[in-house]
Amino acid sequence: MLSVDNIEVIYSDIILAVKGVSLKVPDADIVTLLGANGAGKSTVLKSISGLLKSQDGKIERGTIYYEGKTINNKSAESIVKMGICQVPEGRRSFPDLTTHENLIVGAFTRNDRKEVKEVFKRILEYFPALKKRLHLKAGYLSGGEQQMLVIGRALMGRPSLLMLDEPSLGLAPLIVRQIFDIIEKINIEQSISILLIEQNANMALNIAKHGYIMENGRMVMDDPCDKLKKNEDVMEFYLGITEEGGKKSFADVKHYKRRKRWLS
């Protein structure tokens, strides 16, 4: 469905943020993109969704294909109409609009009112917590409710590819589990492909089929998730598990030194 082929992204004609990154998202699969803060993960999503221009960024080299068509120079609005929706980091609801209004905004590309009503009903089935909040302004929702809202808003556009940027950020563990259960359910029931950026590597690797790891703007590893979970470097640096099976402590940063072979 999606193929990112060796892209380089520059901000303000100066800052090289992404350096020759390639990845693929097959039809109806969940793929995760892992990496530390500042690795360039969000920039990759913005390159796909067309949001780079709003931040003075551009794809300098490489090509992005969606269902066999190049989408490099298309506007964000046209990319949404093609079936790609991004849920940004930090939720980004419209705080002065009600929950109902936020959801309806997500359907601005859809003209079939009957279809919109059906999708709206299905979203409330996925997120029953929103039913009692429909007439409440989004700014008064809890963090978990806001995350449910923005995922639901994206689904109102009937995407074929849903891109999620840090959906667990700032949420309690129980809410995170609920969000990830719903993400899996959406993928299975609606056959929506999902590209997931997530700091909670354990949760991401458990629901995704394939994983990519970025560092310093480059892709340093990719494999099926079952294999990544057994990789010593992934276990140590992303899952916090040492070779002896214990949890690694980073309290004394002097004892934490990343092995150089990652970039070899």
CATH code of the domain containing 218: 3.40.50.300
pLDDT band for position 259 (cuts 50, 70, 90): very low
**20-31: average pLDDT:** 95
- Establish if 98 belongs to a structural domain: no
Q: Return the beta strands (E) in 76-192 as ranges.
A: 84-87, 161-165
CA triple 186-190-193, angle to 5 deg: 75
217, part of any domain: yes
What percent of the chain is predicted at pLDDT more than 70?
Answer: 91
Q: Is residue 249 part of a domain?
A: yes
13 found inside a domain: no
Residues contacting residue 9 through CB under 8 Å, at least 6 positions apart: 16, 17, 18, 40, 43, 44, 47, 52, 57, 58, 59, 60
pLDDT (tens digit per residue) in 168-206: 888 888 989 999 999 999 999 999 999 999 988 999 999
In which residue are the tokens 């059906």 written? 118
Tell me how far apart the alpha carbons of residues 8 and 60 are, in angstroms, rounded to a whole number. 5
In a domain, 89, yes or no: no
Q: What is the DSSP string of 93-108?
A: --TTSBHHHHHHHTTT
Q: Are 197 and 33 in contact (CB under 8 A)?
A: yes
- The SS3 assignment for 208 reads coil
Query: Which H or E element spans position 152?
Result: helix 143-155
Task: Flag whether 20 is in a domain.
Answer: no
State which residues form the domain around 171.
Answer: 26-50+73-83+159-263
Total-model pTM: 0.87
Assigned domain for 147 exists: no
At residue 155, the 3 state secondary structure works out as helix
Alpha-carbon distance values, 16 to 6, 13, 218, 261 (Å): 14, 8, 11, 23
Give every CB contact of residue 75 below 8 A, 6+ residues apart in sequence. Answer: 50
For the record, the structure tokens of 41 come out as 């993960």
Contact 79, 71 (CB under 8 A): yes
User: What are the tokens at 236?
Assistant: 């140590």
pLDDT at 246: 52
Residue 33 clears pLDDT 90, i.e. is over it: yes
For residue 244, pLDDT beyond 70: no
The one-character DSSP state at 230 is T
Task: Give the span between the Cα atoms of 2 and 41, in whole angstroms.
Answer: 16
pLDDT for residue 7 is more than 90: yes
Q: Is residue 109 part of a domain?
A: no
Q: How many residues does the chain have?
A: 264
Higher pLDDT among residues 108 and 63, named by residue: 63
> For residue 110, what pLDDT is reported?
80
Mean pLDDT for the stretch of residues 214-242? 88
Count up the domains in the chain and report the number. Answer: 1
Helical segments of 3-75, H only: 41-49
